[in-house]
Amino acid sequence: MKDQYIISLDQGTTSSRALLINSKGKIVGIEQEEFEQIFPEPGWVEHDPTEILRTQLEVLDRLLQKNKVTPSEIKAIGITNQRETTVVWDRHSGKPVYNAIVWQDTRTSAICEDLKNRGLSEHIRNRTGLVIDSYFSATKIKWILDHVESAREKAEKGDLLFGTVDSWLIWNMTKGKIHATDYSNASRTMLFDIVKLRWDDRIAEELRIPVKMLPEVRPSIADFGSFDIQGEKIPVWGVAGDQQAALFGQGCFKKGTAKNTYGTGCFMLMNTGEDPQFSDHGLLTTIAWGINGKVYYALEGSVFIAGAAIQWLRDGLQIIESVEESEELAKKVTGENPVYVVPAFAGLGAPYWDMYARGAIFGLTRDTGKNHIARATLESLAYQTKDIIRAMQNDSGTKLMNLRVDGGACANNFLMQFQADILNTEVLRPENIESTAMGAAFMAGIGVGMWTQESVSSNKKMERIFTPVLRKAKRKELYKGWKKAVKRTKNWYEES
């Protein structure tokens, strides 16, 4: 008897991926394609939505062809996506009215300042669990409506649709039949009431965003229509933003369990159960997922630039030819590294929330070389994670016993060891670090009855555990230097 499969579509910030997962929860095939990053002005980051769609469908097609899988063998499709990235398109032609404005984009900082000056910070925090920041979708929608000719007029007539990337994919895959998103993605727009589970009319009104252009919001495990592959209708049954999908993929189903994903950004989430927990330390309250008629929440800390900093070593500074080479260079530094890199290329996220911070390198001397800069860049990921964990522990009142990790950069042994050292806690790396894609796959599989949450939990096996070895005094000294470096990057753009 032929095996049945789940397909996970993992639409990320720098690439589109498709994974084939068998009934035992094992990955049997992966296809990936990078797409263009567009930087029209400093601080602006865009993607071509049609290229996102094209690359996502192409990798899916290649996946099936290379693995000789027929559509009848596919049980369901799960989708996970870069969050907050904003697409606005014409409901009639299906064409985007503007490029997708990426989550890293800071062009709407002035709009955010205006919202703060109008006294909306408390309302937005209480309703959405978020801070006012250009990171989220709401101000990006407003910018498009304000700057694209006749866009607002069309939106008010009901001719334009907004969606995060999951909605854009679903709308196209269902040939315009389904305009929907899930609770986790909706909770990242800065427009969604995470307690009442509906779009907030006041925020939409303040930003002059017609509610009719917003997608229907469904649980993360729900029917999102079907995708026709060679005449076979494949149901889409699991949808979640990438970080919530990773939390699910790591099996963090219990209150108090946490994970950190090292992707383009770096994201720490802790499951807080069925009650939203609002932060006093700069963290976000977000919806983890909706499942079985219940909604689960999480505390989240976001580092905007993580793996992207390693890509910067490769593409910007050109001191490495591959991201893997960063580990080799870091290990060549003997003794202490006096250099700190603060990769605030898109401002600083939690717990600082400084849109005006900019990246910097500190501690340069005449003998500083590319090895020191590579090592300091890797160390910056670990320092930023420590910033968030300190805030999370203060909010939750519990000490982190260990840290589960996933994402591409967690394959870097130097980084994981330094992470364990600077946190003074064990870092657990699973055999399968594709937690984001697996989270979407597990959701879809549970939705169609292939798996249960219990079977997902029992499927997690650790590949390596990193144990801290750094002395307490040295750990404190290194972290003190990091805090000093961060302080000097803050408000840089505003002051200039």
Residues flagged as binding site for glycerol:
83-84, 135, 242-243
Supply the DSSP string of 312-333, one letter for each residue.
IIIIIS---SSTTHHHHHHHT-
Q: For the residues of 3-55, what is the DSSP string, one character each? A: --EEEEEEE-SSEEEEEEE-TTS-EEEEEEEE---B-SSTT--EE-HHHHHHH
Write out the binding residues: 13-15, 17, 83-84, 135, 242-243, 264, 307, 311, 408, 412
Binding residues for sn-glycerol 3-phosphate: 13, 83-84, 135, 242
Instruction: Name residues whose C-beta falls within 8 Å of residue 464's C-beta, 6 or more positions apart in sequence.
Output: 416, 429
**75, 70, 83: which is closest to 10 by C-alpha?**
83
Non-local CB neighbours of 88 within 8 Å, separated by 6+ positions: 96, 97, 98, 141, 144, 145, 148, 151, 155, 160, 161, 162, 213
- CA 181 to CA 168: how far, in whole Å? 9
β-bridge mates for residue 15, sequence order = 34
Q: How does DSSP classify residue 103?
A: T
**Is 285 strand, coil or helix?**
strand
Q: What contacts 111, CB < 8 A, 6 or more positions away? A: 134, 139, 142, 143, 207
Which residues carry a binding-site annotation for ATP? 13-15, 264, 307, 311, 408
Using CB atoms within 10 Å of the CB of residue 13, give its burial: 0 to 12 exposed, 13 to 18 middle, 19+ buried.
buried
Residue 417 to residue 336: CA distance in whole angstroms: 15
Q: Copy the structure tokens of residue 186.
A: 């909706």
Q: Are the C-beta atoms of residues 381 and 342 closer than 8 Å to each other?
A: no
Cα 237 to chain center, whole Å?
20
CA dist 302 and 136 (Å) reads: 12
Residues making up the binding site for ADP = 13, 17, 264, 307, 408, 412
In angstroms, rounded to a whole number, what is the distance separating the alpha carbons of residues 98 and 394? Answer: 41
